[in-house]
């Protein structure tokens, strides 16, 4: 599409009419008691829409619709139908890219430029990749003795509840839905209450793409009501969750108290970014800013702990401060803005509490304040704290804002120990010009992804997830299909 200006996006936003009702069995459905909740543009404080506040009654209806579709539409049995429909969903996402990007930007404050260039095409690519994988995943033959023949099939688990966060509403929904649907399951998607609008449009696009009624249902609502109802539901066969560690643990409890369903958790992070003295310091500084400040730091795998060899610490910090200037907060509809808003005023206040803690316990190299843009909204300056140690709250707790904490080290062994000294184990980065050191250090980091001479390396081809308090689920790659299936052995004696 032609390049859009701030004025173009502002005019588009004024014309936007978001979908606000749940989607159950292919139809828009209000909450039974007509309750709604407001979704707010955090860059302006303006209410975007009053969205259906679903609860247990709507969860029952959505799960029943998903079960009926699983049992009665042929979706689970017809691989070619699934492939054809998921490819059409990918096309539809691309055709409605501008509207989806605008909804993402308005709903959670991210720059529309990034949503249009990264989130929306990434979501379409995920649906397309899993669609193409459908007819390339086959069963196994067991090597038995004479007179026996045994084989193993992967069966869809049934009804999947996908509970997704607000920081990448459409993209993480695609990470859950595409492999679950490709495997033959049906789904109920619970978007975060801060960012439900793109999910509701996605359901409409899926219906137009030919998805049978009930295969994809979307249940907006508050976590303690809609989310809990799905977690406790005895007819939900699997939960796929991305969000905070605290809420993820609740879903384990919901499962234990109901039907013992598998719960795949991808949770928080406090990822270390290790820079050795022989690294390309300008490249490391550039990517350190990207890893800490992109999406206003609202990224579970954010490289928010910078571990740097003391011999180059001062020089690297100076370079980081220069690069950080590119991430100045601005109007998310301005294609030139550095970063957008925090997702809500409440979340901004939480991050500001950490900034106050950092100013008391460490040194501030840049940033450290909250801002408004044009007198409105909830924004945070990119912030770098130095003089920190790994015992400080700013080094141990997930801030989920544009905050980088710098910690020095003297030896490789110390760097590895500092990196490992965390309850989280989602990702890590290593910067060095020594290939042997890169292999040596990466092999000692017990995290889900190690990025060498870059940060946050990610592809649909490779699994994403972690260990410890970062959870144990894996999104992306063919491994994601596996978690939405169960194994059936058939043994034939002849």
Task: Give me the half-sphere count of Cα atoms (radius 13 Å) on the Cβ side of residue 324.
Answer: 24
Catalytic residue among 21, 104, 266, 381: 266
∠ CA 175-97-129, nearest 5°, is 35
Known catalytic residue at 266: yes
φ, ψ for residue 105, nearest 5 deg: -65, -50
Supply the DSSP string of 353-367, one letter for each residue.
HHHHHHHHHSEEEE-
As given in the structure block, the two tokens for residue 182 are: 């490709």
Residue reference for tokens 């800013």: 289
Q: Write the DSSP string, 290-320.
A: HHHHGGGG--TT---EEEEEGGGHHHHHHHH
In terms of Cβ atoms closer than 10 Å to its own Cβ (0-12, 13-18, 19+), residue 356 is: exposed
Q: State CA 323 to chain mean position distance.
A: 25
Q: Which residue has the tokens 């958790």?
A: 265
Contact 402, 303 (CB under 8 A): no
Buried b (16+ CB within 10 A) or exposed e, 359-377: eebbeebbbbebeebeeeb
- In angstroms, the CA 185 to CA 104 distance is 26
Given the DSSP bridges, would you call strands 474-475 and 467-468 parallel, antiparallel or unpaired? Answer: unpaired
Asked if 109 contacts 341 with a C-beta cutoff of 8 angstroms, the reply is yes
The contacts of residue 436 (CB under 8 Å, 6+ apart) are none
Distances (CA, A) of 370 to 45, 280, 376, 401: 15, 32, 11, 11
Start-to-end C-alpha separation, the chain: 62
Q: Are 32 and 57 in contact (CB under 8 A)?
A: yes
Closest CA to 44 of 276, 439, 264, 334: 334
Report the distance separating Cα 306 and Cα 294, nearest Å. 15
- Percent of the chain as helix, strand, coil, to the nearest 5: 40, 25, 35
Asked if 270 contacts 397 with a C-beta cutoff of 8 angstroms, the reply is: yes
Please identify which residue in the block is written with the tokens 């304040």.
369
Query: 46: which residues sit within 8 A by CB, 6+ positions away?
Result: 40
Burial (CB count within 10 angstroms: exposed 0-12, middle 13-18, buried 19+), residue 116: buried
Q: Which residues are catalytic?
A: 266
């Amino acid at each position: 599409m032609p390049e859009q200006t701030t004025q173009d996006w502002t005019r588009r936003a004024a014309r936007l009419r978001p979908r606000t009702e749940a989607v159950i069995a292919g139809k828009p459905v209000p909450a039974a008691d007509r309750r709604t909740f407001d979704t707010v543009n955090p860059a302006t404080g303006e209410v975007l829409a009053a969205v259906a506040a679903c609860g247990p009654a709507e969860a029952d209806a959505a799960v029943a619709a998903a079960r009926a579709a699983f049992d009665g539409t042929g979706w689970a049995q017809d691989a070619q139908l699934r492939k054809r429909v998921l490819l059409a969903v990918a096309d539809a996402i691309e055709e409605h890219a501008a509207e989806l990007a605008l909804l993402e930007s308005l709903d959670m404050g991210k720059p529309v430029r990034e949503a249009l260039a990264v989130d929306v095409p990434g979501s379409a690519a995920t649906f397309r990749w899993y669609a193409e994988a459908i007819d390339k995943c086959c069963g196994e033959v067991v090597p038995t003795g004479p007179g026996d023949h045994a084989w193993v099939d992967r069966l869809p688990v049934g009804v999947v509840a996908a509970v997704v966060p607000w920081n990448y509403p459409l993209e993480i929904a695609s990470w859950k839905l595409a492999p679950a649907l490709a495997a033959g399951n049906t789904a109920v998607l619970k978007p975060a209450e801060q960012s439900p609008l793109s999910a509701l449009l996605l359901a409409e696009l899926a219906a137009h793409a030919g998805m049978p009624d009930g295969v994809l249902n979307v249940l907006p609502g508050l976590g303690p009501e809609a989310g809990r109802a799905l977690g406790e539901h005895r007819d939900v066969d699997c939960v796929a969750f991305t969000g905070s560690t605290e809420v993820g643990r609740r879903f384990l409890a919901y499962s234990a108290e109901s039907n013992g369903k598998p719960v795949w958790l991808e949770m928080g992070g406090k990822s270390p970014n290790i820079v050795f003295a022989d690294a390309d310091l300008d490249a490391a500084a550039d990517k350190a800013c990207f890893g800490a400040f992109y999406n206003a730091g609202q990224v579970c795998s954010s490289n928010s702990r910078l571990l740097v060899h003391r011999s180059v610490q001062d020089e690297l910090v100076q370079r980081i401060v220069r690069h950080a200037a590119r991430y100045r907060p601005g109007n998310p509809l301005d294609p030139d803005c550095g970063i957008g808003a925090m997702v809500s005023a409440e979340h901004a206040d939480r991050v500001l509490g950490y900034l106050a803690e950092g100013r008391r316990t460490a040194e501030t190299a840049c940033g450290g304040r909250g801002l408004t843009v044009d007198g409105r909204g909830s924004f945070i300056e990119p912030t770098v704290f130095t003089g920190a140690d790994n015992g400080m709250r700013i080094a141990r707790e997930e801030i989920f804002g544009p905050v980088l904490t710098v910690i020095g080290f003297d030896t490789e062994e110390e760097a590895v120990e500092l990196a490992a000294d965390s309850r989280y184990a989602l990702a890590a980065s290593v910067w060095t010009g020594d290939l042997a050191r890169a292999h040596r250090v990466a092999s000692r980091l017990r995290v889900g992804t190690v990025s060498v001479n870059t940060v946050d390396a990610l592809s649909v081809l490779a699994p994403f997830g972690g260990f410890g308090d970062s959870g144990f689920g894996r999104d992306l790659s063919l491994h994601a299909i596996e978690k939405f299936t169960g194994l059936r052995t058939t043994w034939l004696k002849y």
